[in-house]
Amino acid sequence: MAGHAMHRPHEPVVRMLVPRLYGGVPTLFGAPLAETSEDLRGADVAFLGIPWRAPTPDSRTGSMTANYEGTALTPSQFRVNAIRYGGYLPELDLDVFEHLRLVDCGDVDVSRDMRRMLETVEQTIAALLQAGCIPITLGGNAGPSTYPVIKAIATEAGGPVAVLNLDAHADNERGDWEEDDPREPRWASSWVWRILGLPGVDPARFYHVGLRGPLNDRETFTRFQERGVPREHIFTYRELKRARRVGFDEWAEELAHQIADGAAKVWIALDPDVLDLSSNPDFGDDPLGPSAAEVIELVYQTARAAGRGKFAGLAMMAVPHTAQTLHHICVYVLLYALAGMISGAAR
């Protein structure tokens, strides 16, 4: 239009008014960017992206390919999708960020050298814990986004660490990561087996919710029991149906207290394929799962039972960068985990 002056990117009117991670990517919720140990001072919660992409296995063709392809882009795209949200939850009459100071630590450097990759993540998480921050992490695929995270947590915990794992699949094939072909690391199918062998991670305090479907194999329960996980801690679709009959919210609250009881720390891991297809229309291929509301409620109750003293963080993994609906669900999971922790500390 004649007479219309175009604004240029360097002019203040078009500059982003929140901190940026890189280029046009904002920090999570517009939180302060923490690039040094000094930046962590006074922070309660630290967000960390772990954009490691696993090789796509032959068994995960079709829609599940998105679980691998492009996950290196997920942390940045998640930040973009989350920028529209604040911390106030009217249904709880609680503003998360009035109680907690969040910082965004950016993304860890990714390496094809698995030992270096794991050490980088472990050292980064250890630094966050030593600064008094609760780590919230987003992958990237399981393995580097889970194993070194809970390894650092267990080292600092001072007692047994309990795990709530939300996943449609067991991911407990036998074998240590050092045995993997470096070009085809098997983390996607074995990360649970591997964390259950870490010092401080108590298999008797491991709880798996959402297991179902023919992508699991006949030895699923055998391998869990070999690692010391009680069968009654594995909740399949059948147990989920029973929980709904007795009242899901009451069941979730009872399970949350069982998880937290006697643990030094409680860590929550979320693979979004745990969600039923009706809650996850742009990703996944397993029906008969929990709804988004049920997952969010269980995360909330577990963090609430743990409280500020025991809640060790939340790890979200294998989130496709293109799954927009799923990103919004994960925002709710994150905020409800923090809201639960705050509510637990207030009791």
> What is the pTM for the complete model shown?
0.93
Q: Rounded to whole angstroms, how far apart are CA atoms 332 and 328?
A: 7
Residue 187 pLDDT exceeds 80: yes
Q: Which residue has the tokens 């390894």?
A: 151
| Residues 6 or more apart in contact with residue 59 via CB below 8 angstroms | 215
Q: Which residues make Cβ contacts (< 8 Å) with residue 219, sequence separation at least 6?
A: none
Name the residue among 201, 207, 269 with its Cα closest to residue 50: 269
Q: How far apart are CA 153 and CA 170, in angstroms?
A: 22
Q: What is the pLDDT of residue 16?
A: 67
* 341: confidence class by pLDDT, cuts 50, 70, 90: very high
Residue ranges of domains in the chain: 28-178+202-346
Contact call for residues 254 and 260 (beta carbons, < 8 A): no
Cα dist from 256 to 71, 125, 163, whole Å = 30, 25, 11
Q: What is the mean pLDDT of the chain?
A: 90
- pLDDT at res. 205: 98
Query: What gap in Å lies between CA 27 and CA 33, rounded to an integer?
Result: 7
Whether the per-residue pLDDT at 7 is higher than 80: the answer is: no
By CB atoms closer than 10 A (0-12, 13-18, 19+), residue 109 is: exposed
Q: What values do phi and psi take at 140, rounded to 5?
A: 60, 160
pLDDT, residue 5, reads 45
Query: Per residue in 303-315, pLDDT tens?
Result: 999 999 999 999 9
The percent of residues in the chain predicted with pLDDT above 90, rounded, is: 76
pLDDT score at 142: 84
Cα(336)–Cα(330) distance, integer angstroms: 10
Query: Which tens digits make up the pLDDT trace of 62-82?
Result: 555 555 566 778 899 999 999
CATH class of 28-178+202-346: alpha beta
pLDDT computed for residue 24 by the predictor = 84
